[in-house]
Amino acid sequence: MDKIIKTGDISEEDVVLEVGPGVGTLTEAIAMSGAEVAAVEIDRTLIPILENELKGFKNVRIINEDILKVDVKALSEEYGKPLKVIANLPYYITTPIIMNLLEEELPVSLIVVMIQKEVAMRMQAKPGSKDYGSLSLVTQYFADAYIAANVPRNCFMPRPNVDSAVIRLTPHKEKPVEVSDRRLFFKFIKAAFSKRRKTLVNCITTSPDFDITKEEMAKALNGVGMNEKVRGEALTLNDFAKLFEKLFG
């Protein structure tokens, strides 16, 4: 908990949106920093426990709702500042929650979450590594990703089957690349990693989302100074943007 709070650089100046507070252990630690806390818990049976545990804190607000249905923008406007999102996320819904916060470009200044280590590694992976893929690129399009702490499975009771990690995502003030169609760009990236051991030409030309010939792909790759035998994992975000604009811009 101390590591999460330190990574979030939480102070009394902040408004923290906590996702999935559970029984309020982390919520209490955040509240003790003096920050305003909006704790969103979907499980109705936990609300009385949270209200009892946190009754001494006037800076905590408990919201019984699904985080994917909460109007984060309205919440931010109510407090008059961007939010810091802090959470021990349920692993089965980690990616939808994070991607919703990033892709909707909600008023969030920082995201610090404990998630499955494998997912955290993929989010911050660099080109050429085994963890690098579409999740790495989409995450890094929106934010700077940094693993602040590894949390082994033996830290938990009962012990889970996976290790965890605390990742810090700092949304970019300006996007690192400009593309003419963001949604299509993300489809392009996803298609590039659809067949891990295949070349980029093969992945894109066999994708049902694109009607591109091998000749067109080869020409576009050569046009941006890349070899037609290249694989998706070798390309940086900037490389993908250049190639995408060559094909569709």
pLDDT tens digits along 25-47: 999 999 999 999 999 999 999 99
Q: What order do you get walking across the sheet with 36-40 strand by strand? A: 60-63, 36-40, 15-19, 83-88, 108-116, 164-171, 143-151
Query: What pLDDT is attached to residue 89?
Result: 85
Question: Could you state, in order of their start, the residue ranges of all structural domains in the chain?
Answer: 2-171, 182-248
Whether the pLDDT of residue 237 is over 80: the answer is yes
Q: What is the pLDDT of residues 124-137, one digit of tens each?
A: 999 999 999 999 99
Mean pLDDT of 38-57: 96
Residues 6+ apart with CB under 8 A from 154: none
Tell me what the pLDDT averaged over the chain comes to: 94
Whether the pLDDT of residue 180 is over 90: the answer is yes
Whether the pLDDT of residue 121 is over 90: the answer is yes
Whether the pLDDT of residue 156 is over 80: the answer is no
Fold classified for 182-248: Helicase, Ruva Protein; domain 3 (1.10.8)
pTM of the entire predicted model: 0.92
Nearest in space to 235 (alpha carbons), one of 212, 201, 208: 201
Whether the pLDDT of residue 196 is over 90: the answer is no
For residues 10 and 66, give the distance between their C-alpha atoms in angstroms, rounded to a whole number.
24
Query: What pLDDT is attached to residue 1?
Result: 85
For residues 98 and 55, give the distance between their C-alpha atoms in angstroms, rounded to a whole number.
29
Whether the pLDDT of residue 154 is over 90: the answer is no
CATH 3.30.9.10 fits 2-171, yes or no: no
Whether the pLDDT of residue 157 is over 80: the answer is no
C-alpha distances in angstroms, 222 versus 89, 202, 226, 227?
43, 15, 5, 6
Cis peptide before 158 (omega within 30 of 0): yes
Query: What pLDDT is attached to residue 151?
Result: 85
Confidence of residue 21 (pLDDT cuts 50, 70, 90): very high
Find tokens 């997912």 and name the residue.
119
Q: What is the pLDDT of residues 59-116, one digit of tens each?
A: 999 999 999 999 999 999 999 999 999 998 888 889 999 999 999 999 999 999 999 9
